[in-house]
Amino acid sequence: MIFEKKRMKTKTFFTLTAAAALMLCAFMIIASADVMAADNYYKGRGTSSSPYKISSAADLYHLAAKVNKGTTYKGKYFRVTRNIDLKSRAWTPIGGKDNGSGSAKYKFRGNFNGNNKIISGLHISVKTGYCGLFGYNLGTVKSFTLKGSVTCTPAKDAGYIGGVVGFNAGTVRNVTSYVKVKAGTSSRTVCAVNIGGIAGFNTSGRYVWYDGTKDRQATVSGAKGIITACTNKGMITGERRIGGIAGENAGAISRCGNTAGVYTTFSTSSKRGNGSGGGYGNGYGGIAGRNGNNNTAYETGTITDCYNTGEIGPYAGTDSRWYGGITGFQNNYSSITNCYTTGMLRAGYEDWYPVAGRQDPAAKVTNTYSLDTIASASDASAEEKYCGIRKTADEMKTETFAALLGGAFRTDTAGSNGGYPVLK
């Protein structure tokens, strides 16, 4: 009898041990899924010294397919080896898909080096958010030129629509976008928000999202929210929170330029029953549509060493507000430093100024300039906080002016920027 009890205990022990081993193996398989999933397709080992090589459109489509099935490629490296033409085939962004809780189901966490190549023929035409070459980036995306178009006509409220990245919580560096981005709908009850030439939304961690009834505060673990050394050259047309670089910035934008038009099709009297001039502020600008969230400040956005030469304003009519050459809105936690704008402003309803359309009292504007011929709403036209320091075109094309902006700028000796300072 005693022997039988010992044998039962021994059997139970080994059964439990085997079960634990199986669970451990399953965990290890899941944890290593990113490594195993990609090794058999790409040339290279996915390391910094031997990155996975992307040499064709098929390779890019494969990357999108893998990420959109759950592979994050965290810690893995990619390198584009030649110019790639996507030939305007329907593109599904790398990462994204709204999870219904203010975030995306799929996220790219790897390192994508475009190797100064051209990716052309991007074509997106959808009714959902998280649009761009990348839908959601929590890794690094850098060093390429992108050409194509992104169009979003949402069936319900949708956001995070960008040329390069829809939602950026990682790093985007040294990317030039010629992508034409257009988002919006004629529906009175549906709106497209967070629309940008480089990223629809940029965050270093904190962000605010709308659940259909109210704003909610959230955070992204491990976020960086850096956009630097990027240029947008593609026209951006949207409804609310529209920027040449980012639709809304809750991170850091630095050493970036916008040379394209940024326009809204949103009329404050045409959506959700608003009266003339009432309701929502559009929030759009040459660099960021909004620099930090409005209402109760939660996000912090910084815009440093940036410039805008693109026209800003309503696409048609004048029933529009909250827009400026650098940003359309800036909250108490956010700042603009060492920037300039020469882009003209189309007339609107209210709160449209050369630098920032509307700002909370503690928002900061430092060492920022605007061309003296840019029109503005009259009630703050003389305030430096809204208009920056006014300069003539001749003054802004001198070495003295480039030096005033700080070490990031130099004079435009090649004439590539109309004679206005360019980034080093």
Pairing relation of β-strands 104-106 and 96-98? Answer: antiparallel
DSSP readout, 248-278? EEESEEES-EE-S-EEE---TTTSTTPPTT-
Spatial distance between the Cα atoms of 9 and 6, rounded to a whole number of angstroms: 5
For 363-402, the DSSP string reads -EEES-EEETT----GGGTT-HHHH-EEE-HHHHTSHHHH
Note whether residue 336 is domain-resident. yes
Is 278 within the bounds of a domain?
A: yes
Which H or E run includes 96? strand 96-98
> Percentage of the chain with pLDDT > 90?
74
Q: How many CA atoms lie within 13 A of 150 on its CB side?
A: 38
How does residue 74 score in pLDDT terms, banded at 50, 70 and 90? very high
Q: 226 in a domain, yes or no? A: yes
Range of the domain at 63: 52-391
pLDDT at position 381: 61
Cβ 388 vs Cβ 363: under 8 Å:
no
Q: What angle do CA 81, 231, 48 make, to 5 degrees?
A: 35
Question: What local confidence, expressed as pLDDT, does residue 275 receive?
Answer: 40
Q: Is residue 272 part of a domain?
A: yes
User: Is the separation of the CB atoms in 340 and 366 below 8 Å?
Assistant: no
Asked if the structure places residue 167 within a domain, the reply is: yes
- Cα–Cα distance for residue pair 314/284, rounded to 1 Å: 10
Q: Domain containing 170 — which CATH number?
A: 2.160.20.110
Residue 188 lies in a domain: yes
pLDDT band at 287 (very low <50, low <70, confident <90, very high): very high
Query: Facing residues of 183 across strands?
Result: 152
Please check whether residue 104 lies inside any domain of the structure.
yes
φ and ψ of 202, to 5 deg:
-135, 125
The pTM of this model reads 0.90
Question: What is the structure's pLDDT at 24?
Answer: 42
Query: Lowest-pLDDT range, 73-77, 126-130, 199-203, 288-292?
Result: 126-130
Indicate the number of domains in the chain.
1
Specify if 61 maps to a domain.
Answer: yes
Place of tokens 């081993």: 21
311: nearest Cα among 252, 355, 246, 262: 262
Q: Give me the pLDDT at residue 424, please.
A: 96
How high is the mean pLDDT of the chain? 88
Ranges 13-17, 38-42, 69-73, most confident: 69-73
Question: Which pLDDT score is estimated for 316?
Answer: 80
Phi and psi at residue 27, to the nearest 5°: -65, -40
What is the rounded distance in angstroms from the CA atom of residue 80 to the CA atom of residue 53?
6
Question: What are the Cα distances from residue 408, in Å, to 35, 130, 214, 254?
Answer: 39, 32, 40, 10
For 133-142, 181-190, 377-386, 408-417, which range has the lowest pLDDT when averaged over its residues?
377-386
So what's the pLDDT on residue 155? Answer: 76
Between residues 58 and 103, the one the model is more confident about: 58
Q: pLDDT band at residue 3, thresholds of 50, 70 and 90?
A: very low
